[in-house]
A and B are shown apart, each in its own frame.
Chain A
Amino acid sequence: MPYNARLIETLSMLMIITSVAAVESHNLRRAAAAYALQALLICGLILAFAVGNSALYVWALVALITKAILTPWFILRYVAKTGEQEVPATIGFGLSVAVASVLLVSFYKLTHSYVHVLAPTPESVAGVFRTNLAVGLTVFVLGLYAILSRRDAIKTVIGLCLLENAVHLSLVSLAPNMRETALIGIATEVVVTVYLLLYVIAGIREKVGTTDTYELAELHW
């Protein structure tokens, strides 16, 4: 095996901790910092896989710029304008952490007992793939959970970023021999979407006076 499996597994497990921190921290500045840390972990993961495909060095660089530098910077800039305290969430801290733990344990079980269900290639039954898939699914669902349960618009954007990181983690684990163009396209689009969302949220803040998504109820069915 050309990859350093232990390193990859460690980095990928650390992604769960940063995800929970990003979702649970009620201070948006700290949440953004947790996200930036996770982005660095992703860069590390991509580099660990880059042993097998040099195109991944380019991707690691793009990920560093878009995920670890630009996205947190955009978020921090908006937080500076709108205040760093999150609009209180609908689900409390204790319950939320419990949800995250249950998710991880069940996905870990799922991917380790039924890996063939989602394994696209014979090699991908290996341990690294399983762990990354479990982590990817957990982070994905955590992101989705943040989008659905958090009232603060900026927090939903952080949730979206987590979701994207999860897919990118599966991407690099499943298809470590992808070409640069596709990778750059995928990576830049996320950061542009985040920028646009924050731009619109700033507009909402200006017109409605809050970033509480529950206040956005002008339009319903």
Chain B
Amino acid sequence: MQTLAPSNLTELIFLIPAAAGLLAWLMGRARRVWAEALALLGAAGALACAAAMLPRVLGGKILTGWGLELRVDSLSALLVLLISGVALPVTLFAIPYMRHRRLRDQQGEDVTDRRLPGFYGLYLLFLATMLWGCVTNNIIMLYVAVEATTIASGLLVAFYWDRRALEAGYKYLMLLTVGITFALFAAVLLYASATVYLPGVNAMLISELRGVAGLIPRSVAIFVVAFFIVGFGTKAGIAPFHPWLPDAHAEAPSPVSALLSGVMIKMAAYALARTVTIFYPSYPPLTMFVVVLGGFTMLLGGVMALAQDDLKRLLAYSSVSQMGYVMMGIGFGTYLGVYGGLFHLLNHAVAKALLFLSVGAVIYATSLRSMSQLGGLGRRMPVTAACFFVGAFAIAGLPPFSGFMSKLTIFLAGAQAGMWAAVGVAIFTSLLTLVVVIRAGQAVFWGNPKSADVSLETVREAPTSLWVAMVALAAVCVLLGVYPQVAYPLLNQATLSIAGLFGR
């Protein structure tokens, strides 16, 4: 039986990075290295909090803070562990990476050191808002947190301040804010309808709303679900609400792309899972709708990825595609399906962060990112190439890498639910993904450079400080592939917290 236990960790986990971000912005002006140190400290502090929560959550406790305002159950614990666990290596990578590309103002003066404190300030704030979204138990605050991640990351997307980055930043802020407004409308409708059954503040608590979701008038419930899917789905990169994603993920600095594609869209998927699944028990056809949406998303993302020449756009479209798997798994609504969806969410976060860092290392070495220009880098950058292929195989679901296990679980869940068409689409997209990533790896790391801008003599392997982070993430990809049991206790409990709702 799960019991509630008040814990300060629930608030510390997002207050630490937020405070570090503020300090980084203030103190970094004096010396850049302080901003960098604080970024590492903030990310490490968040990871430490997440790790400290883990044993208590696995022991059946639900941690609460500020009354019932903050609530960490096993699903939240999974997400905060994932976010902070990916953020730490990404931050390690960001420090040398962000120093490398010199930024110039209009007079051609080097302004890198002046702009980096702001970068780390927003970066940590971005991290804090993602973590906050995963621990809040208030439906309105969930909207506020998701919108806050957009606000914090908007200027990170446009950080390079050139034409492409600005265009991506404008689209990012505009499309996501419009999209997420639908989620606010849904949250307001849900809250208002729940006030009839729940006293006062309780009508805002997601943990309480679960119990009354079935009592809400049917037509209102349909609007609530539809608006939540549009709102949080936009943020999660679910097709057809994904057009902001390839622009933003491609134009942001690579460490930011790794966070956007690795964990931010996962946090939105979490918001979706938290809110939409409470309606599953009363509205069974809803699961079918989510499966169809997932199938459409994965197929569209896979096909679009095939058409890309820009490596980062390719990875971004592949993220759209992989989010389709997460949606489909959760859509099956069975224990196995939800388990597969959450497991894939975990695997994809690690593998996609790894891939964006690997491409970042390529950009670091060559300043290029088009497959039609690159080639032959494998000889000069063996570590980067190896890391890229580990991430690529994990995404494509090749054994013994992590994606294989989670995709297999999703296929099995589909078969068990008798949804053969969905299984067919998922298997086909998996093959498509394999083609996409192998073609990309081959174009970049084999053969010879296709552009005169790259000369293999001058290309050097990324420095140790860059590849340490990549190797760490690659190791996790392999570990989760050969020994998936390591994630079982947490995933099992997280799955039960969703699937337990409807006992399937």
Partners in one complex: yes
Q: Which residues of A contact B196 (CB under 8 A)?
A: 120-122
Contact of B185 among A167, A193, A200, A204 (CB under 8 A): A167
**Contact string against B for A residues 108-119, beta-carbon threshold 8 Å, 1 for contact and 0 otherwise:** 000000001111
The answer for the CA separation of A164 and B143 in the assembled complex, in Å, is: 13
Contact of A174 among B147, B161, B192 (CB under 8 A): B192
Q: Which residues of B contact A175 (CB under 8 A)?
A: 188, 191-192, 195
Chain B: how many interface residues by the 8 Å CB criterion?
A: 52
Q: Which residues of B contact A186 (CB under 8 A)?
A: 140, 143-144, 184
Q: Which residues of A contact B189 (CB under 8 A)?
A: 118, 120, 174
Using a CB-CB cutoff of 8 Å, which residues 157-199 of chain B contact chain A?
A: 158, 161-164, 166-171, 173-174, 177-178, 181, 184-185, 188-193, 195-196
A43: Cβ under 8 A from any B Cβ: no
Q: Which residues of B contact A124 (CB under 8 A)?
A: 192
Determine if A164 and B168 form an interchain contact, defined as CB atoms under 8 angstroms apart: no
Determine if B170 and A121 form an interchain contact, defined as CB atoms under 8 angstroms apart: no
Contact of A116 among B193, B200, B219, B246 (CB under 8 A): B219
Given A163-B181, A167-B185, A219-B164: A203 touches B147 (CB 8 Å cut-off): no
Query: Interface segment, B76-84, B148-156, B334-342, B361-369?
Result: B148-156
Q: Which residues of B contact A117 (CB under 8 A)?
A: 219-220, 223
CB of A140 to closest CB in B, whole Å = 8
B461: Cβ under 8 A from any A Cβ: no
A160: Cβ under 8 A from any B Cβ: yes
Contact of A163 among B144, B178, B201, B219 (CB under 8 A): B178
A8: Cβ under 8 A from any B Cβ: no
**Contact string against A for B residues 122-148, beta-carbon threshold 8 Å, 1 for contact and 0 otherwise:** 000000000000000010110110011
Q: Which residues of A contact B150 (CB under 8 A)?
A: 193
The answer for the CA separation of A119 and B192 in the assembled complex, in Å, is: 9
The answer for the CA separation of A213 and B166 in the assembled complex, in Å, is: 12
Q: Which residues of A contact B141 (CB under 8 A)?
A: 181-182, 185
The answer for the CA separation of A164 and B183 in the assembled complex, in Å, is: 12
Chain A: how many interface residues by the 8 Å CB criterion?
A: 44
A25: Cβ under 8 A from any B Cβ: no
A196: Cβ under 8 A from any B Cβ: yes
Q: Which residues of B contact A201 (CB under 8 A)?
A: 170
Q: Which residues of B contact A120 (CB under 8 A)?
A: 189-190, 192-193, 196, 216-217, 220
B355: Cβ under 8 A from any A Cβ: no
CB of B144 to closest CB in A, whole Å = 4
Using a CB-CB cutoff of 8 Å, which residues 177-195 of chain A contact chain B?
A: 177-179, 181-182, 185-186, 189, 192-193
The answer for the CA separation of A120 and B220 in the assembled complex, in Å, is: 6
Q: Which residues of B contact A75 (CB under 8 A)?
A: none
Nearest chain A residue, comparing its CB with the CB of B170: A200
**Contact string against B for A residues 92-136, beta-carbon threshold 8 Å, 1 for contact and 0 otherwise:** 000000000000000000000000111111101000000000000
Determine if A116 and B304 form an interchain contact, defined as CB atoms under 8 angstroms apart: no
Nearest chain B residue, comparing its CB with the CB of A195: B151
**Contact string against A for B residues 488-503, beta-carbon threshold 8 Å, 1 for contact and 0 otherwise:** 0000000000000000
Determine if B155 and A216 form an interchain contact, defined as CB atoms under 8 angstroms apart: no
The answer for the CA separation of A177 and B196 in the assembled complex, in Å, is: 12
Determine if A185 and B140 form an interchain contact, defined as CB atoms under 8 angstroms apart: yes
The answer for the CA separation of A32 and B493 in the assembled complex, in Å, is: 52
Determine if B204 and A144 form an interchain contact, defined as CB atoms under 8 angstroms apart: no
Q: Which residues of A contact B155 (CB under 8 A)?
A: 196, 199-200
Q: Which residues of B contact A199 (CB under 8 A)?
A: 155
Nearest chain A residue, comparing its CB with the CB of B188: A171
The answer for the CA separation of A121 and B188 in the assembled complex, in Å, is: 12
CB of A82 to closest CB in B, whole Å = 14
- Most A C-beta atoms less than 10 A away, residue of B170, B200, B247: B170
Determine if A119 and B178 form an interchain contact, defined as CB atoms under 8 angstroms apart: no
B251: Cβ under 8 A from any A Cβ: yes
A48: Cβ under 8 A from any B Cβ: no
CB of B222 to closest CB in A, whole Å = 9
Q: Which residues of B contact A27 (CB under 8 A)?
A: none
23 contacting pairs across A/B (C-beta < 8 A): A116-B219, A120-B190, A120-B192, A124-B192, A153-B170, A160-B178, A164-B181, A175-B188, A175-B192, A178-B191, A181-B141, A189-B148, A189-B151, A192-B151, A193-B177, A197-B170, A197-B177, A201-B170, A203-B161, A207-B161, A208-B163, A219-B246, A219-B247
- A-B contacts besides A160-B178, A167-B188, A182-B141, 20 pairs, CB < 8 Å: A117-B219, A120-B220, A121-B193, A122-B196, A147-B174, A160-B177, A170-B188, A171-B184, A171-B188, A174-B189, A175-B191, A178-B191, A179-B201, A179-B204, A193-B147, A197-B177, A199-B155, A201-B170, A203-B158, A207-B163
Give the 10 A-B residue pairs with the shortest CB-CB distance, closest first: A120-B193, A174-B192, A185-B144, A182-B140, A120-B192, A117-B219, A216-B167, A219-B247, A175-B192, A200-B169
Q: Which residues of A contact B (CB under 8 A)?
A: 116-122, 124, 144, 147, 153, 156, 160, 163-164, 167, 170-171, 174-175, 177-179, 181-182, 185-186, 189, 192-193, 196-197, 199-201, 203-204, 207-208, 213, 216, 218-219, 221
